[in-house]
Amino acid sequence: MRCCVCLFQQSLQCSPSKMAAGESNSRSSCLNLSNSGPLGNAPPSNSAHSSPASNGGAVAAAGRMNRSAGNANPRSGPENGGGAESAVRSTPSAHNPRRQLVGPSGATSGVASNMTATPSSSSSSSSASTASSSADASAAVASLPSSPASVLIYREPVYNWQATKSTVKERFLYSDEVQIGPETVMTTLYTAKKYAVPALEAHCVEFLKKNLRADNAFMLLTQARLFDEPQLASLCLENIDKNTADALAAEGFTDVDIDTLVAVLERDTLGVREVRLFGAAVRWAEAEAQRQQLQPTPENKRRVLGKALSLIRFPLMTIEEFAAGPAQSGILSDREVVSLFLHFTVNPKPHVEFIDRPRCCLRGKECSITRFSQVESRWGYSGTSDRIRFSVNRRIFVVGFGLYGSIHGPTDYQVNIQIIHTDSNTVLGQNDTGFSCDGTASTFRVMFKEPVEILPSVNYIACATLKGPDSHYGTKGMRKVTHEAPATGTKTCFTFCYAAGNNNGTSVEDGQIPEVIFYT
């Protein structure tokens, strides 16, 4: 579909009026459309310009024509042949041979010729002019000043593109046949808004809805806010909630304005860990500093983030996540870093200036269950994964596992953790990472990059592949483990089962993966 702006401009475009006098030095103005007839055509004129009815009319017309010729180019002067002298030197236009100059010689025929040089729609007026006596015309010319030559200005009718179309359907805007593509949809939406074409606007919004994805959700959200499209904006936000990690990783994320960033960070429904939100906010701050021609120093990053920084929920991070990232970024003040470390490590917890309310997808505080009653020594690794199957009675989000460490003192392990949907064998979440242990029989946290949604009464497999020395392991395992929330009394019941196949010996009774860390 042709852009509406182009159509409106085309229908309003005037054909430049050419003046026989000063054609090389001047250009006449377009017709005044306020006096135009239907569909933009110039209406017939009753003035003496087109058909003088008497000697007085001819004299008045000639006087006006003389003033027009003399003012064709106000900047012209005798030294450059401007004004009336340039009109005398001009030649008739090839476009309209009847456009003759009125000069000292042949003046009578010139006036008679020009008085008939009008659009065909004014033929009756032309006939009246022809019927006038030649004596009247001669008298009119005789009254003209003899020094400056006079010229009749011929104005062509405004081009009417719609008149060239045989059917209404061919006048694009009226066909209701819309062809929108990714490259044109935003400009078309802008045009539809500007010229109040609601049907075209609806087509554009529908196209955007159908093509909404995680990798363009932030870009479309910005446009939806700009064009005041609340329904499209709501769909973008829902997409970001469900695919937060992918949306944050998209190239267009760092191009959003600060108000859009704040609108997203305020939401309680984002499905991602706070440490990932912080990393994304830092990337945005670096891009914004560059747009503002600032050095990407920690001070400038904090400055451009403004209110957005306070919307990162640092208390929801683990102490390891906070220590490895935000605490070392330089964006937080020393006082803020100290208060957050105290929040993580002491009881009762001191007040912090950041929100500690979990987002809706991670309700409540972090929880964990342990499935073994006793710890023993020497569990070996040879590249085979430890696996255990489990299900739950209610929807939760698993964020990591607790794993046993070395029996030989402080050691580092490399580990890959996964959660697999049993029936489809689909990997729902994984992380290649590492952890350090101190040689005790404690468990050590290994976290997923994003929370993994676990639905009730569905079978999943918890999987951990470790590279390192022999470790502790658990015994006297329980088939069912129930966690009860202290504040609400809500019970989350885990059921563990044997995972068929090569599982490095891990089972319900013995093995690795002693702990599951989750939010409800």
Residue 190 confidence class, pLDDT cut points 50, 70, 90: confident
pLDDT digits (tens, 9 = 90+) for 342-382: 988 886 677 889 988 777 666 567 899 999 999 999 999 99
pLDDT over threshold 60, residue 129 = no
pLDDT over threshold 90, residue 194 = no
Residue 488 confidence class, pLDDT cut points 50, 70, 90: confident
pLDDT over 90 percentage in the chain: 41
Q: Where are the domains of the chain?
A: 170-345, 367-519
CATH architecture observed for domain 367-519: Sandwich (2.60)
- What mean pLDDT do residues 421-444 have? 92
Distance of alpha carbon 18 from alpha carbon 91, whole angstroms: 12
Residue 385: name the closest of 428, 430, 424 by CA.
430
Supply angle C-alpha 182, 184, 189, rounded to 5. Answer: 105
According to the model, what pLDDT value does residue 284 have? 97
* Average pLDDT of the chain, as a whole number: 75
pLDDT digits (tens, 9 = 90+) for 61-103: 333 434 333 443 433 333 444 433 333 333 334 344 333 333 4
Residue 513: name the closest of 499, 320, 491, 436 by CA.
499
According to the model, what pLDDT value does residue 92 have? 39
User: Read out DSSP for 421-443?
Assistant: ETTTTEEEEEEEEEEEE-SSS-E
Is the model more confident about 288 or about 36? 288
Four-point Cα dihedral 203, 206, 210, 212, nearest 10: 110
Find residue 516's DSSP bridge partners.
369, 401
Q: Do domains 170-345 and 367-519 have the same CATH topology?
A: no
According to the model, what pLDDT value does residue 221 have? 92
According to the model, what pLDDT value does residue 298 have? 96
According to the model, what pLDDT value does residue 77 have? 39
pLDDT digits (tens, 9 = 90+) for 249-297: 998 899 999 999 999 999 988 888 899 999 999 999 999 999 999 999 9
Is the model more confident about 176 or about 311? 311
Distance of alpha carbon 355 from alpha carbon 444, whole angstroms: 27
pLDDT digits (tens, 9 = 90+) for 215-245: 999 999 998 898 888 888 988 998 998 889 8
Lowest mean pLDDT, pick from 195-204, 292-301, 392-401, 437-446 = 195-204
- What mean pLDDT do residues 416-420 have? 96
**Which class for 39: exposed (0-12), middle (13-18), buried (19 or more C-beta within 10 A)?**
exposed
Is the model more confident about 258 or about 159? 258
- What mean pLDDT do residues 5-9 have? 42
According to the model, what pLDDT value does residue 170 have? 61
According to the model, what pLDDT value does residue 21 have? 38
Residue 203 confidence class, pLDDT cut points 50, 70, 90: confident
CATH for 170-345, options being 3.30.710, 1.20.1070, 3.40.720, 2.130.10: 3.30.710
pLDDT over 70 percentage in the chain: 65
Distance of alpha carbon 208 from alpha carbon 213, whole angstroms: 10
Residue 404: name the closest of 479, 301, 514 by CA.
514
pLDDT digits (tens, 9 = 90+) for 379-401: 999 999 999 999 999 999 999 99
pLDDT digits (tens, 9 = 90+) for 310-331: 999 998 888 888 999 999 999 9
According to the model, what pLDDT value does residue 175 have? 59
User: Cis link prior to 348 (omega < 30° from 0)?
Assistant: yes
According to the model, what pLDDT value does residue 351 have? 82
Residue 6 confidence class, pLDDT cut points 50, 70, 90: very low
According to the model, what pLDDT value does residue 44 have? 40
Residue with tokens 């073994």: 372
